[in-house]
Amino acid sequence: MVGATLVTLAGVALPTTASATVETDPTPAAPKKLFTIRDDRIKESSGLAKSVKHPGTYYTVNDSGDTGRVFAIDATTGKVEAVLRFGAKVTDVEALGVDRDGTIYIADIGDNKADREQIEIYTIPEPETLEDADVKYHQFDFKYPDGAHDAETLLIEPGTSQLYIVTKELKGTGAIYAAPPAPTRQGTNDLSKLAPAPSGIITDGTFMPDGQRVVLRTYTDVATVAWGDTPTAIARGAAVLGQGETVAVGPTDNTVLVGSEGANSAIYQLTAPAKAVASTPPSASATPKPATASDSNNADSGKNHNLRWIIIGASLFALIITIVTFPPGRRERRDRQAENDRLTGQGPPTGHRRA
């Protein structure tokens, strides 16, 4: 009975589920300075995207106040290789992207006062040769389903070129909005709200080449998001100092480039934050893993403390039952002693009178 009681109580006290948390990359590689943008025309780099047609080239744009133009940057020297002028009257360009076919997307989505009736995304083709040129553009107009929002992040899904916009909120949490699968240039396209955005003031983002992860940039860090029906941040890592404004796919599949606003903006390469060793929720048939020292100092220590008191209480209860309820052999010996005392005329010992 005592054994069954202890097993039952212990089973109730053991944790049966594990909550998912955003983990900090335990061993992030040190950021590597890749190049510095040294051009007087680029004073507020507010978007960064990797070229598809020209290896070693990245595109950038200025924040609000500039004309419609895109700069091609040599990732080795930081020098401007070409200026692509597309002639649109832009309002507040905040993000760039390049799809798998080499189309450049210029996202005019900034709205600090949240009073724009619509936002625009312009597309231009990547040039075959990098030289200054006036290029033709296409304009796509979009509208949020729930009023105006400020945004600085454009995401382009690698396999389908599906567009997503992540809003920037100074208070509360932003959101992820999806464009129609095939936006039209006739009329205004309605965006649809997909999911809440991860925490933080999000200033840029990019899909990683596998299409399964997105890296989002805030003023202070970068977050890796597992993409799906409910995009979820799974890891975060510190970014270099400065007003973090840009992030783009790096030279290799698991790296990103990050940059800041201002003249002579330095661009750093770092590894996309990765989740630490994933923990598997224990099941009825699983063998529990031993807790680490850090675990025992946190939530699990409280559970273990409660479990110890439950076991101690159950043991005391079993001891009381043992004292009150005599085993059959001891009861028989006591009865024989009482019968002998009666036959010999001796009184029962004090403290052992039967009722």
Q: From CA 185, how far away is CA 282, in angstroms rounded?
A: 52
Tokens of 214: 């997105």
Segment-wise mean pLDDT, segments of 10 residues, the chain, 355 residues = 37 31 58 92 94 97 94 96 97 97 98 96 98 98 97 97 96 95 96 95 96 94 93 89 85 92 89 71 38 41 46 51 45 49 49 39
**For tokens 């080239």, what's the residue?**
57
Q: What is the pLDDT of residues 233-246, one digit of tens each?
A: 999 998 776 678 89
Q: What's the start-to-end Cα distance of the chain, in Å?
A: 27
Q: Given this model, what pLDDT does residue 330 score?
A: 46
Q: Given this model, what pLDDT does residue 191 score?
A: 98
Q: What is the pLDDT of residues 163-210, one digit of tens each?
A: 999 999 998 899 999 999 999 999 999 999 999 999 999 999 999 999
Residues forming a β-bridge with 156: 163
H helix runs in the chain, sequence order:
2-13, 293-296, 299-324, 328-344
Q: Given this model, what pLDDT does residue 288 score?
A: 36
CB 165 within 8 A of CB 132: no
Q: Given this model, what pLDDT does residue 80 score?
A: 97
Tell me the CATH number of domain 32-271, given options 1.10.260.40, 2.60.200.20, 2.120.10.30, 3.40.640.10.
Answer: 2.120.10.30
Task: Residue 45: count other Cβ atoms within 10 Å of its Cβ.
Answer: 24
Tokens of 28: 């992030």
Q: Given this model, what pLDDT does residue 260 score?
A: 87
Secondary-structure percent of the chain, ordered helix, strand, coil, rounded to 5: 15, 35, 50
**For tokens 């039967």, what's the residue?**
354
Q: Given this model, what pLDDT does residue 172 score?
A: 86
- Round the CA-based radius of gyration of the chain to a whole number and report it: 34
Tokens of 126: 């990547």
